[in-house]
Amino acid sequence: MRLVLVGPPGAGKGTQAGFIAERFSIPQISTGDIFRANVSGGTKLGKLAKSFMDAGDLVPDAVTIAMVRDRLDEPDTAAGFLLDGFPRNVAQAYELDSVLGDLGASLDVVLELEVDNDEVVRRLSGRRMCRKCGHIWHIEYDPTQSGGRCDLCGGELFQRDDDQADTVRHRLDVYAEQTAPLIQFYDGRGQLVVVDALGPVEDVTERAIAALTKAIS
Ligand code: AMP
């Protein structure tokens, strides 16, 4: 299965991507995670991406596309993959077609996680990430037992720079202007499946897996 996950920041893409990838035994490729790993590792790519990420802007297409092309060239993607956070605009969607065309492949389905803006702001501003293992907690929806430490590994929790209220609002504008048009783009191609992303995580996963199973059968 070759799958793309779209939805506003805070729709739960990362969380759902993990469960869906596991269920269909395909690698989860999250461009945000790859960028963040490069920022932490102090690589050239990380240095280039950091200012865009901190501002809540998109990293330039040429950089992002080259990174995705390299990742999709790796052998573990032969049986399929789940792209989480890419494409983020229509130009990237056309580039994805071209990368897949070169590999003799095409997309099977695009899953949209649908959630309203108020909920997005609530989710993102309460989100805390573990500095050590990357696990995501939420001060209201999924708090740790141990306050400012991760229950899984004891690591320190922090708020991503791009989860601060002002940046969240800017990321939502960027989503509406640049990423939301993808929904019509893929719908027009008959590849779009929409799932309501409100409610308990397990319920959303169940709805997503049912919708995907139906879409590929
Ligand atoms: P995410 O974790 O998906 O919200 O991504 C975090 C940040 O990484 C975004 O706000 C962008 O700055 C950058 N990023 C991730 N994916 C892309 C992409 N496909 N194109 C451009 N920038 C991206």
Ligand 1 atom 15 nearest Cα? 32
Kindly state the tokens that stand for 54.
Answer: 């901190």
Please report the sign of the dihedral spanned by the C-alpha atoms of residue 213, residue 137, residue 126, residue 180.
negative
Q: What is the pLDDT of residues 50-59, one digit of tens each?
A: 999 998 899 9
Percent of residues, the chain, with pLDDT higher than 70: 100
Kindly give the distance from the C-alpha atom of residue 53 to the centroid of ligand 1, in angstroms, as a whole number: 7
Domain boundaries, the chain: 2-216
Distance CA 172, CA 190 (A): 26
Q: How many residues does the chain have?
A: 217
153-183: pLDDT as tens digits: 999 999 988 888 888 889 999 999 999 999 9
Matching residue, tokens 């504008």: 173
Ligand 1 center from residue 60 Cα (angstroms): 10
**Which residue's CA lies nearest to atom 14 of ligand 1?**
32
Find the angle CA(177)-CA(210)-CA(137) to the nearest 5 degrees: 60
Check if the beta carbon of residue 204 is closer than 8 Å to that of residue 12: yes
Which residues are known catalytic residues? Answer: 13, 88, 127, 160, 171
Task: Give the angle subtended at the CA of 68 by the CAs of 51 and 83, to the nearest 5°.
Answer: 100
Q: Sign of the CA dihedral 167, 168, 170, 175?
A: positive
Ligand 1 atom with minimal separation from the 57 CA: 12
The ligand 1 site (C-beta within 6 Å) comprises: 9, 31-32, 35, 52-53, 56-59, 64, 85-86, 88, 92, 162, 171
CA of 59 to the centre of ligand 1 (A): 7
**Within 13 A of 67's CA, how many CA atoms are on the CB side?**
26
Mode of pairing for the β-strands spanning 2-6 and 81-84: parallel
Q: Give the Å distances, CA to CA, from 213 to 14, 57, 72, 123, 189.
A: 19, 34, 23, 28, 19
Q: Calculate how far, in angstroms, residue 192's C-alpha sits from the geometric centre of ligand 1.
A: 21
Average pLDDT over residues 141-148: 90
The CATH T-level fold of domain 2-216 is: Rossmann fold (3.40.50)
Q: What is the mean pLDDT of residues 58-75?
A: 95
Give the 3-state secondary structure of residue 68: helix
The amino acid occupying position 60 is P
